[in-house]
Amino acid sequence: MIYLDNSATTRQHDRVTEVMLQYMREDFGNPSSLYSLGLTAEKAIKEARKKLDRAMALPEGTCYFTSCGTEADSMAILGVARARGRRGRRIITTQVEHPAVLEACKQLEQQGFEVIYIGVDRECGLDMEQLKDAINEETILISVMQVNNETGAVMPIDEIAELKQNALLHTDAVQAFGKIPLAKGADLVTVSGHKIHGPKGIGALWTGKDVHIPAFLAGGGQESGMRSGTENVPAIAGFGEAAALLSSEMLGEEPVRKVRDRLLCGIRDEIGDIIVNSPDDGCPSVLNISFLGTRAEVLLHTLEQDEIYVSTGSACSSNKKGQSHVLKAMGLSDREIEGTLRFSFGRYNSVGEMDEVVDKVKKAVERFRKLGSFR
């Protein structure tokens, strides 16, 4: 199997699984219990938070564990709106955010907030002039992802931090974490476990030391009262382990770039009529390519027969059949979008296996084009 859909999810690291099993089988206590089993679980959470803090390498602040990246996005966006809704009603985001951000913003629009969606260019680069013009004294929140999940485009978070005036800046760093250093200029940062070879169903929201948002879930007061509910200790411990592994043995930016470059060069050499939608200076974990005159869904299933797994775009959308809002915002035509595949890389990919992928993609594209069923 060659798994090239690491932006959708990653294979869990064996060490992460071992750690999780320990907190399922033996140290299964409730962290709020007063006896030693509870204290062991509480300690596991403390250790995991330390490991996550170290891996995120952000300025002074607090990490709150959540049930996923989506929840952390909601906690940030809805939380800032609740905390600051009296000061201003404008929120700025982009047209290419993950649905976790877009849908939270839509909820706020229904509550009377004004949401401005900043556009991107053909390379998924943010329209900074439009962003600058949109920031005013009414702006309470700017939410811009650090790395786009479909193209790998890296957004200039630290530059935006310089422009934000009184607004708080949130960045969805789900696709950035573990791949490139996290931007230090944001006030709130979202990360998720399953994109870094950690468990699914665990995420975190980091908030800077001067950021105050209301509790997301009311109840027993866990997570410093910000997110009540008995903690998912195995997932938290697993997330901490995955975060610790990032620095010790995960693929760095350079090895991933080599894998991506090998695939890109091979595809460029072997297959005509393509458009590369990922910017050259994007995050190396993602490569988005349109194979003109094809249908990506058919290519995907053809590749699946050879146990090569890729995506047609964002697998996180429940609307799996819908066209990519990201590629639309970049100005691709419907037919270009139709033929677009996303390859995304993780620690288990090697440069060597990319030659096989090029060969199989070439065959799938040629077969489709020969049939001419789309042209």
Would you say 37 or 315 has its CB closer to ligand PLP?
A: 315
Quick one: which of 70, 143, 151, 294 contacts ligand PLP (CB under 6 A)?
A: 70
Would you say 8 or 298 has its CB closer to ligand PLP?
A: 8
Q: Is 63 a catalytic residue?
A: no
Kindly report the number of other CB atoms within 10 A of residue 335's CB atom: 14
| Token pair 């049939």 in the structure block, residue | 371
173-188: string of b/e by CB count within 10 Å (b at 16+)? bbbbbbbbebbebbbb
Under the criterion CB under 6 A, does residue 10 sit at the interface with ligand PLP? no
| Token pair 């043995």 in the structure block, residue | 249
The Cα 159–Cα 66 span in angstroms is: 28
Q: Tell me how long the chain is.
A: 375
Quick one: which of 174, 226, 308, 357 contacts ligand PLP (CB under 6 A)?
A: 174
Under the criterion CB under 6 A, does residue 342 sit at the interface with ligand PLP? no
Using CB under 6 A as the binding rule, the residues of this chain from 100 to 139 that contact ligand PLP are: 100
Q: Which of 68-76, 114-122, 157-165, 257-265 is the region at the interface with ligand PLP (rule: CB under 6 A)?
A: 68-76
Q: Which of 99, 104, 147, 103 is nearest to 126 (CA)?
A: 147
Helix, strand and coil in the chain, % to nearest 5? 40, 15, 40
**E strands, the chain, in order:** 2-3, 61-66, 90-94, 114-118, 139-143, 168-172, 188-192, 203-208, 274-276, 286-291, 308-309, 340-344
For helices 36-56 and 233-248, angle between their N-to-C axes, nearest 10 degrees: 40
Q: Which residue is nearest to ligand PLP (CB)?
A: 69
CB of 300 to ligand PLP, least distance (A): 17
For residue 275, what are the contacts with CB-CB under 8 A and spacing of at least 6?
289, 290, 292, 332, 336
Under the criterion CB under 6 A, does residue 282 sit at the interface with ligand PLP? no
CB of 156 to ligand PLP, least distance (A): 16
Size of the site for ligand PLP (CB under 6 A): 14
CB of 46 to ligand PLP, least distance (A): 22
Q: Which of 170, 179, 203 is nearest to 83 (CA)?
A: 170
Would you say 69 or 79 has its CB closer to ligand PLP?
A: 69
Under the criterion CB under 6 A, does residue 238 sit at the interface with ligand PLP? no
Q: Are 278 and 152 in contact (CB under 8 A)?
A: yes
Q: Which of 64-72, 107-115, 224-232, 265-273 is the region at the interface with ligand PLP (rule: CB under 6 A)?
A: 64-72
Would you say 81 or 173 has its CB closer to ligand PLP?
A: 173
Quick one: which of 27, 42, 53, 172 contacts ligand PLP (CB under 6 A)?
A: 172
Quick one: which of 49, 51, 90, 98 contacts ligand PLP (CB under 6 A)?
A: 98
| Token pair 């993950």 in the structure block, residue | 98
Would you say 63 or 68 has its CB closer to ligand PLP?
A: 68
**Catalytic residue of the set 63, 68, 283, 316:** 316
Under the criterion CB under 6 A, does residue 94 sit at the interface with ligand PLP? no
Q: Which of 37-45, 65-73, 275-283, 318-326 is the region at the interface with ligand PLP (rule: CB under 6 A)?
A: 65-73
C-alpha count within 13 angstroms, C-beta hemisphere, residue 94:
35
| Token pair 């329209």 in the structure block, residue | 127
Using CB under 6 A as the binding rule, the residues of this chain from 288 to 317 that contact ligand PLP are: 316
Q: Are 218 and 75 in contact (CB under 8 A)?
A: no
Quick one: which of 6, 10, 74, 149 contacts ligand PLP (CB under 6 A)?
A: 149
Please identify every residue annotated as catalytic.
Answer: 316
Positions in the binding site for ligand PLP (CB under 6 A): 68-70, 73, 98, 100, 145, 149, 172, 174-175, 192, 203, 316
